[in-house]
């Protein structure tokens, strides 16, 4: 059986090696015949912590990694390289400590 592949936007990257991806789909309302946007959030495994909020990524179904996590990030923007500066490491420099 083939694995499902979905595309969505990273909405949270605060967990270690995990990103929360919002996947939107458009469905037609059965009565009003109007397209309605439904969204669902998936927890996906990000081994190198390289994806940040706002990145468009592709996720693939995999074996269960934890209680909520059975998806793996397989692709994203080209600038999400391992050498990209982490937002967590720069947050300490944003606020100078009072002396």
Answer whether residue 97 shows pLDDT above 70: no
DSSP at 57:
E
- pLDDT one-digit tens code per residue, 14-52: 999 999 999 999 999 999 999 999 999 999 999 999 999
- 39 neighbors 88 (Cβ within 8 angstroms): no
What are the structure tokens assigned to 77, written together? 């923007």
pLDDT value of position 94: 57
Residues 88 and 38: their CA atoms lie apart, in Å, by: 31
pLDDT value of position 85: 52
pLDDT value of position 84: 56
Tell which phi-psi region holds residue 90, choosing left (phi > 0), alpha (psi between -120 and 50) or beta.
alpha
- pLDDT one-digit tens code per residue, 44-91: 999 999 999 999 999 999 999 999 999 999 987 666 655 555 555 545
Q: Predicted confidence band at 13 (pLDDT cuts at 50, 70, 90)? A: very high
Residues 63 and 43: their CA atoms lie apart, in Å, by: 13
- 19 neighbors 10 (Cβ within 8 angstroms): yes
Cα end-to-end span (Å), the chain: 61
DSSP at 53:
T
């Amino acid at each position: 059986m083939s694995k499902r592949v979905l595309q969505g936007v990273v909405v949270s990257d605060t967990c270690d090696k995990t990103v929360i991806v919002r996947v939107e789909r458009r469905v037609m309302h059965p009565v009003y015949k109007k397209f309605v946007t439904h969204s669902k959030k998936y927890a996906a495994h990000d081994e190198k912590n390289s994806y940040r909020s706002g990145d468009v990524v592709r996720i693939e179904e995999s074996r269960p990694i934890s209680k909520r996590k059975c998806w793996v990030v397989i692709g994203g923007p080209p600038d999400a390289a391992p050498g990209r500066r982490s937002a967590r490491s720069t947050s300490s420099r944003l606020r100078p400590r009072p002396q």
